[in-house]
Amino acid sequence: MDILKEAEKVEKEVIELRRKIHMYPELGFEETKTSEVVYDYLKNLGIEVKRIAKTGVVGTLKGNGSKTIAIRADMDALPIQEENDVEYASQIPGRMHACGHDVHTAILLGTAKLLANMRDKLKGNVKFIFQPAEETTGGALPMIEEGVLENPKVDAIIGLHVDPELQVGQIGITYGKAYASSDMIDIIVKGKSSHGAEPHKSVDAIVIAANIVNILQTVVSRKANPLSPIVLTIGTIEGGYARNIIADKVRMSGIIRMMEEEKRDEIVEMVEKICDNTAKVIGGEVEFRRTKGYPCLVNHKGMTDLIKETAFPLLGEGNVIEVAPTMGVEDFAYFLQKVPGSFYKLGCGNKEKGIDKPIHNNQFNIDEECIKIGLAVHVSTVLKYLNSNG
């Protein structure tokens, strides 16, 4: 069977689905219309379907075998005003599918249709996981907690993300650590205010904050392994009342991204200790709060090999590219903590057509030729996995 030709048969329908979803973007856990489209489409294919994790949807296609592979797509949009001049531009002010989740959703729906058409030949089951809220608090964990990987038990999982830095016709794979972990930090520096002409009567919260920012740079340069990436950013500083008043309070917020999951708690504790001790030396104090974000996304070798071996004959070896890890985050990581799997990148850029804007840009778009590539890789990987003896 020529999977690319099969993908081309549904390509137009899937592009129309993508455009429909693109026109009505919804934020995390607000994907009611999108999930209705997904639910109805799967039901019409004769796939067992249910709602999960508020606005999530899962479909189960049962074949002839005990193995089960899952495919995940995220559905949520971003709070961005779209600036693309296309007929299918966002109809919701201040909302846009600027990260390609409309594409992910449409490709998975098309994959479901292609696999449903060959259900009698499937040597196992396929779960189609449509996840809410990847961009915000994360929908993967609630779906897992509500049993999305059970009944039937999922043995392997794959997913994709569009990437405009890769050209249409290419995919990107990464072995092992592919996305960073994320921890958000909020710091309140407390001092004592006074008149600006009488600094000796104060504990200057701005001076404390400035010292904290400077000393925190040593976490990356002197405390972390230079061979393991880490990013520590203080992104906001707010404090002070007037030019002649020494501030008694400064609020700061930042983020820590790193690739060593096992060192994550240690680094955060080090950051808190620096903040606390720096404030004490100058006579102040701090309140420190950590909000734990997504863990590192770690691809499993066997499933990454499977995608690579599947894509070679479809796209040509030169179009299956090993890409470097990114310090971005992705809550597909939670699925990979539970079952073997791999998350690959789907090239959607086309420099000749001027399609080169990055994700999260208000002019982000894709070359829709990438849709049939995603369909073909998804379907072929599922078939290869279910037909394997592993």
| Residue 360 marked ligand-binding | yes
Q: Is residue 269 part of an annotated ligand binding site?
A: no
CB 76 within 8 A of CB 27: yes
Task: Determine if residue 161 is labeled as part of a ligand binding site.
Answer: yes
CB atoms within 10 A of CB 30: 18
Beta bridge partners of 341: 157
Considering only CA atoms, which of 302, 374, 320 is closest in space to residue 112? 374
Query: If you search the block for the tokens 């057509």, which residue do you land on?
Result: 353
């999305």: which residue's tokens?
Answer: 148
294 is catalytic: yes
Any known ligand binding at 135? Answer: yes
Confirm if 366 and 181 have CB atoms less than 8 A apart: no
Place of tokens 């990979």: 336
Count other Cβ atoms within 10 Å, centred on residue 81.
Answer: 12
Residues 236 and 283: their CA atoms lie apart, in Å, by 23
3-state SS assignment for residue 232: strand
Structure tokens belonging to residue 102 = 């409309």
Rounded CA separation 172/223 (Å): 32
Amino acid at 247: A
> Cα-Cα-Cα-Cα dihedral of 148, 152, 158, 159, to 10°?
-30
Chain-centroid distance of CA 271 in Å reads 25
Active-site position among 30, 134, 179, 294: 294
- Spacing of C-alpha 384 from chain mean position: 26
Q: CB–CB of 329/134 below 8 Å?
A: no
Three-state SS at 379: helix
Is residue 334 annotated as a catalytic residue, yes or no? Answer: no
- Residues in binding site for Mn(2+): 99, 101, 135, 161, 360
- Residues in binding site: 99, 101, 135, 161, 360
Catalytic residues: 294, 368
